[in-house]
Amino acid sequence: MRVLVTRPEPGASSTAERLRNLGYEPVLMPLTRIVDMPADLSELADAPAFAATSASAIRSWRARGIEAEYLHRPFYAVGERTAAVARDCGFEIVSAGGGDGADLGRLVDDDVRSGKLRLSEQAPLIYLAGAVRHGGFESQLLERNIPHRTVEIYKIGKISYSTDYILEALSTGGQSAVLLYSRVAADCFFRLIDTSANYNNLKNISFLCMSDNVLDAVPENVRPKAIVSAAPDEKSLLALLGGSDKMF
């Protein structure tokens, strides 16, 4: 089975390697790229703790240089993949949520209530984020009155491909699948390909979505070909490949 990988680098190549090891044929077609944004990182100096809902935010910070003193402070990551990137950067106290922003917000709140994490308006949690993001984490922080400050450190740049190029990449005479990791990637993909005009060309293609939020971006006429992973992580997403053949 040919599998289209739409996530940006450096993650795309790692996913391709996992797919090969599982016996699939990966096709790298990143729909987005990470672009660093100007950010005043001096306001991080007094932060008691940091948080991120994207590994891209941590990589962007690492590219500018993370002060050694910050590595001793707690870091809250949305899931295990993001937590692994934080640990690779040298953070010593890393807590991982269950894979979505709302769950991470509850984790932070639990630590605040227990006294494990002390925050104030003068010393808030610093949330390192992209310019475009799902608001689940921030909504939880606001709802629970948790002092925080969002520092936008990167943005998403879009990469375009022709419809013919995409269809050729997916055309195998057999089954193919498209991995959709984010709402942004799904929006990009379905702007590039007209699902009505190309419906017959998509009949052997399944769309594997990381979450319900991603599924919402899949057009109605091909939504029966879409599946949502049991959990918002890559392991669960790739596990869907074993069942995608039942859709045809």
Size of the chain in residues: 248
Judge whether residue 244 has pLDDT over 70. Answer: no
CATH class of the 34-156 domain in this structure: alpha beta
Cβ–Cβ under 8 Å, residues 36 and 128: no
Among residues 211, 247, 242, 241, the alpha carbon closest in space to that of 228 is found at 211
Out of 1.10.10.410, 3.30.300.130, 3.40.50.10090, 3.10.310.10, the CATH code matching 2-31+159-247 is 3.40.50.10090
Question: Closest Cα to residue 185, out of 153, 223, 211?
Answer: 211
Cα–Cα distance for residue pair 171/201, rounded to 1 Å = 8
Fold match flag (2-31+159-247 vs 34-156): yes
Distance CA 194, CA 163 (A): 8
pLDDT, residue 83, reads 96
pLDDT at 172: 65
| pLDDT tens column, 53-91 | 999 999 999 999 999 999 999 999 999 989 999 999 999
CB 136 within 8 A of CB 100: yes
For residue 241, give the H/E element and its range: none
CB 194 within 8 A of CB 164: no
Element (H or E) spanning 29, and its range?
none
Give the other-Cβ count within 10 Å of 92's Cβ. Answer: 11
Residue 164 has a pLDDT of 86
Percent of the chain topping pLDDT 90 = 70
- The per-residue DSSP string of 45-71 comes to TT-S-EEES-HHHHHHHHHH---GGGG
Arithmetic mean of pLDDT, 174-182: 89
Q: Residue 248: what pLDDT?
A: 44
pLDDT above 70 (res 247): no
For the entire predicted model, the pTM comes to: 0.76
Three-state secondary-structure class, residue 209: strand
**pLDDT in the model for residue 173:** 62
Residue 54 and residue 130 in contact, taking contact as beta carbons nearer than 8 Å: yes
Out of 16-30, 144-158, 198-212, least confident range: 198-212
Checking DSSP bridges between strand 32-36 and strand 148-158, what pairing results, if any?
antiparallel
Judged on CB neighbours under 10 Å (0-12, 13-18, 19+), 125 is buried
Where do the domains of the chain lie?
Answer: 2-31+159-247, 34-156
Q: What is the pLDDT of residues 196-219, one digit of tens each?
A: 778 788 888 999 999 999 999 999
- pLDDT at residue number 23: 94
Judged against a pLDDT cut of 60, whether residue 185 lies above it is answered with yes
Provide, rounded to the nearest whole percent, the portion of the chain with pLDDT above 70.
96
